[in-house]
Amino acid sequence: MLGWTIAFLLIALVAGVLGFGGIAGASAGIAQILFIVFLVLFAAGVVGSVFNGRRSRL
C-alpha cells in the first residue's frame, strides 16, 4: 500500500514538473487517500496486535 502511495506521489511530481496540472492534481489526491488508508490500516494492526498479545517478528 505504501508502495502505491509513493508511486502516485512520484507521478504527481513528474507531471507537475512537466506542466500537466490535471494529472498532477489527480495523482496527488490519490496518493493522499492511499497514505491515509495505509495509516489507518497500520494503526489498526498495531492496536490489534496489542490486544492480541502477539509480538511482531520485526
The verdict on residue 56 lying in a domain is no
Residue 31 falls inside a structural domain: yes
Confidence band of 11 (pLDDT split at 50, 70, 90): confident
35 within some domain: yes
Domain that holds residue 13: 2-49
SS3 38: helix
pLDDT for position 55: 65
| 15-54 confidence digits (pLDDT tens) | 888 888 788 888 888 888 888 998 999 999 888 888 887 6
Indicate the number of domains in the chain.
1
User: Where residue 10 falls among pLDDT bands split at 50, 70, 90?
Assistant: confident
Grid coordinates 496527488 are at which residue? 28
Return the pLDDT at 4: 80
* 58 within some domain: no
pLDDT at 40: 93
Amino acid symbol at 23: I
